[in-house]
Amino acid sequence: MRNMFISTFFILLFFSIHPVSATFAHNNNISEQEKNKIVQEALKVIEKRYNSLISQQQEESEVPQLKNTKSQLRLESIIKRDKSYINELGASYKKIEILNVDDVQIDKMNEAIKLSLRVEVAKYYQYKNKKQMEEHPWLETRTHEFIFSFNENKRSYSYLLVDYKFEDEMDYFGEQSPNLNLPTIEKMIEQQTAVKTFNDISIMSTQHLYDRSGAKSYAYNWYNKNNPDFRVFANNCTNFISQAINRGGGVNMDWWGDLRWWYQGNQNTTSWSVAHDYVYYARRNDDAGGLGAYYISNVKDLKVGSLVGYDFDNDGYFDHLSIVVNYNSNGEPLTAQHTPSDYNRPWKSVNPSTKHYFIQTNDYWYSN
């Protein structure tokens, strides 16, 4: 019995809602029937890849087979890593469903078909000490790329999978080029002499509540797409966090003072878009505008709308940020992020060497 729901009905329903003419790009005289057939073949591969996460033993028959040896080894390595990751959390996947398929692009190249599509899945998992699956499934959206060879006969084409690659979070473990003149993470923690629950600013300022539920809603609405009001960065995590706090949380941008946090047109401060620079800004923000923050030691104390910071290569500088949106049945945070796109993901990185830091955002911000 299949654990993952992909069916001909689903694909036909998808294309009835999203007209093929509006969905596909670069069709190169491929018929609508053939386009749909190619996408079905691709979804079967995606199904097999995710189903391999559910099975207890990784057998060769359960993993898509590729002609490209390098891609095959990468695929098998990621499957092994992802199974190990969920197992180390003390859980196992029970069901994975495709929720949406979009941004489908097809190119015909000589005797090959190149296909790209974005797929949103819900990954349902259960902790070994629990009787039920988790209430909040891990939502994951990734771009998948395929190359199929094809043979033409009198009635139709037959397709053979040549290569398959997909967006993976390890692709984004490069640093976001922080300002190296700023203190390292440990130096910032040493400088934190007292936990701040509010900004110490002039009595003439007006206090505003940080809308944590608004930040959560914004993160859900935009976790797997880009708000056209903002440009997109190669590493887009902090840009996404800043948007959630500003647009969702209702926190004004900070235009004045020694430390600033703003976005306008195609310009912005590095604190808006670079992880380490943002945390440095938030830790020292004590004037009107923006939102302050402080380090805490217990991950379970993080509130919705607070942050988890990641130092992937242990060089003392933040590489990535995610925002807390829910909690699992053990009381630990589930987060949302960009680069790549996840919602309700467990807060720990899949990279075992990563250092994690817990950044509590203040409950209030101030304006003059």
Same domain? For 156 and 201 the reply is: no
- Cβ within 8 Å of residue 130, ≥6 positions away: 329
Same domain? For 304 and 211 the reply is: yes
According to DSSP, residue 253 is labeled: P
Q: Is residue 299 part of a domain?
A: yes
- Cβ within 8 Å of residue 217, ≥6 positions away: 248
| Of 338, 356, 45, residue with least CA distance to 169 | 338
Same domain? For 144 and 29 the reply is: yes
Q: Is residue 127 part of a domain?
A: yes
Same domain? For 209 and 344 the reply is: yes
The confidence score (pLDDT) of residue 11 equals 44
Same domain? For 311 and 221 the reply is: yes
Q: Are the C-beta atoms of 50 and 121 separated by less than 8 Å? A: yes
Instruction: Quickly count: other Cβ atoms within 10 Å of residue 134's Cβ.
Output: 21
Q: Which of 167, 193, 216 is the last residue of a domain?
A: 167
Distance CA 282, CA 249 (A): 15
282: three-class secondary structure by DSSP: helix
Distance CA 191, CA 100 (A): 46
* Sign of the dihedral defined by the CA atoms of residues 318, 319, 325, 328, in that order: negative
- Give the pLDDT means over successive 10-residue stretches in the chain (368 positions): 43 41 52 89 95 71 86 95 95 96 91 94 96 97 94 70 93 74 90 53 75 98 97 95 98 88 95 96 80 96 98 93 98 97 97 94 90
Token pair, residue 28, equals: 């190169």
Same domain? For 13 and 100 the reply is: yes
Q: Is residue 179 part of a domain?
A: no
Q: Which of 167, 201, 218 is the last residue of a domain?
A: 167
Could you give phi then psi for residue 301, rounded to 5 degrees? -85, -5
Q: Which of 167, 195, 222 is the last residue of a domain?
A: 167
Q: Angle CA(186)–CA(358)–CA(217) in degrees, nearest 5?
A: 140
Torsion of CA 101, 228, 105, 54, to 10 degrees: -30
DSSP labels, 301-326 = GPPTT-EEEEESS-SSS--EEEEEEE
Same domain? For 218 and 315 the reply is: yes
Q: Is residue 292 part of a domain?
A: yes
Same domain? For 51 and 130 the reply is: yes
* Range of the structural domain that residue 93 is part of: 4-167
Provide the CATH number for the domain around residue 79: 3.10.450
Instruction: Supply the angle between the helices 32-54 and 8-17 in degrees, to the nearest 10.
Output: 130
138: three-class secondary structure by DSSP: strand
Same domain? For 221 and 318 the reply is: yes
Q: Are the C-beta atoms of 343 and 336 separated by less than 8 Å? A: yes
Q: Is residue 93 part of a domain?
A: yes
Same domain? For 218 and 308 the reply is: yes
Q: Is residue 173 part of a domain?
A: no
53: three-class secondary structure by DSSP: helix
Amino acid letter for position 164: Y
The confidence score (pLDDT) of residue 286 equals 65
Q: Is residue 109 part of a domain?
A: yes
Q: Is residue 174 part of a domain?
A: no
Domain count, the chain: 2
The confidence score (pLDDT) of residue 174 equals 63
Same domain? For 192 and 145 the reply is: no
Provide the CATH number for the domain around residue 241: 3.90.1720
Distance CA 10, CA 324 (A): 32
Same domain? For 138 and 241 the reply is: no
Strand 333-337, strand 206-209: pairing: unpaired
Distance CA 142, CA 119 (A): 6
Residue count (the chain): 368
Q: Are the C-beta atoms of 293 and 337 separated by less than 8 Å? A: no
Distance CA 152, CA 158 (A): 7
